[in-house]
């Protein structure tokens, strides 16, 4: 296991007063052009514990090893690009503060599970997004286009408010043991996005989406482990949404 070190400038009393601490990032590395096997590599970084794991990864990539590969975009918990396993839990690197994950021990960082690793922390998201597309995540209506906006009561809007928060980070789906064992399962994120339209009073394709999720790889594969709810960085009650879709399939009321 190799170790790289990034020193923080400063010495003497100024160094003693610095808020920076030495943190070890233990990162799972994989490069298919070099080896078929993944390895762990340690990096020592001087960082303010109030900074985020994403900041640490940036320091490593910019100053220690430019080959480190990971996804990120907005860096503010909105795009969902930087979902990864940090200390064994699915999290967004841009929302995870160093001080909140015991920086006095090595911080392990690895790709999310259940999806093929392409390089380092980057996984193939195509199966995830295909399941999302398969549930038709858009408003479907019949008849002529209205001359004004489609009105909806506050109560009707509240019915699916929680599931509008999904940012498609895949943290929930890649925390699901059913998805780990069978990549054909639609997964929590796809079901959450189906829920958002099934329970939308303006939509007219609820029955069609329910039939899609009634498939052998659909909503009945859920084993209600609550991993998905625990992993969601947006606080969506994922397991509750899945149960509501199951209930709608049985009663045909939504």
* Phi and psi angles of residue 229, each rounded to the nearest 5 degrees, phi first: -65, -40
Half-sphere exposure (Cβ direction) of 92: Cα atoms closer than 13 Å? 20
What per-residue confidence (pLDDT) applies to 58? 98
- Nearest Cα neighbor of 125 from 91, 85, 86, 171 is 171
> How far is C-alpha 234 from the chain's CA centre?
10
Q: Which two tokens stand for residue 131?
A: 């399941």
What ranges in the chain are assigned the alpha helix state H? 12-16, 53-59, 126-134, 154-158, 177-181, 188-198, 206-213, 227-231, 238-251
Whether the pLDDT of residue 196 is over 90: the answer is yes
Closest C-alpha to 190, from 207, 166, 208: 166
Which residue, 212, 67, 189, 81, is CA-closest to 140?
Answer: 212
Give the pLDDT score at 68.
98
Does the pLDDT at position 16 exceed 90?
no
The CATH H-level superfamily of 126-251 is Alpha-helical ferredoxin (1.10.1060.10)
Report the alpha-carbon distance of residue 109 to residue 53 in Å, rounded: 9
Q: Quick: pLDDT tens for 39-98.
A: 999 999 999 999 999 999 999 999 999 999 999 999 999 999 999 999 999 999 999 999
Question: What is the per-residue pLDDT for 17?
Answer: 72
What value does the mean pLDDT take over residues 106-118? Answer: 98
Mean pLDDT of the chain: 93
Residues of the chain with CATH 3.10.20.30: 3-123
* pLDDT at residue 2 in the model: 61
Which token pair is 10?
A: 């400063």
Q: What is the CATH number of domain 3-123?
A: 3.10.20.30
Residues 33, 45: Cα–Cα separation, whole Å: 27
Residue 5 is predicted with a pLDDT of 62
* pTM attached to this predicted model: 0.89
Express each pLDDT in 119-164 by its tens digit.
Answer: 999 999 999 999 999 999 999 999 888 899 989 999 999 999 999 9
Question: Average pLDDT of 167-179?
Answer: 97
pLDDT at 10: 52
**pLDDT digits 0-9 by tens, 22-45:** 999 999 999 999 999 999 999 999
For the cut 90, the answer to whether the pLDDT of residue 229 exceeds it is yes
Query: Within the chain, which residue ranges are assigned CATH 1.10.1060.10?
Result: 126-251
């Amino acid at each position: 296991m190799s170790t790289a070190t990034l020193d923080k400038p400063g010495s003497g009393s100024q160094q003693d007063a610095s808020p920076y601490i030495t943190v070890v990032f233990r990162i799972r590395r994989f490069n298919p052009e070099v080896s078929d096997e993944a390895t762990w590599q340690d990096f020592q970084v001087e960082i303010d514990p109030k900074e985020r794991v994403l900041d640490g990864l940036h320091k490593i990539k910019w100053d220690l090893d430019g080959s480190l590969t990971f996804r990120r975009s907005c860096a503010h918990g909105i795009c969902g690009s930087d979902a990864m396993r940090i200390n064994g839990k699915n999290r967004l690197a841009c929302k995870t503060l160093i001080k909140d994950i015991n920086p006095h021990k090595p911080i392990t960082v690895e790709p999310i599970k259940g999806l093929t690793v392409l390089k380092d922390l980057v996984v193939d998201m195509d199966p995830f997004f295909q399941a999302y597309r398969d549930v038709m995540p858009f408003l479907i209506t019949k008849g002529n286009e209205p001359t004004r906006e489609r009105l909806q009561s506050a109560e009707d809007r509240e019915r699916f408010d929680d599931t509008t928060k999904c940012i498609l980070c895949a943290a929930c789906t890649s925390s699901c043991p059913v998805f780990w064992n069978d990549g054909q399962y639609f997964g929590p994120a796809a079901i959450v996005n189906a829920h958002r339209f099934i329970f939308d009073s303006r939509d007219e394709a609820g029955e069609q989406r329910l039939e899609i999720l009634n498939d052998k790889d659909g909503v009945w594969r859920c084993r209600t482990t609550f991993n998905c709810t625990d992993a969601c960085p947006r606080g969506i009650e994922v397991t509750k949404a899945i149960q509501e879709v199951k209930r709608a399939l049985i009663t045909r009321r939504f």
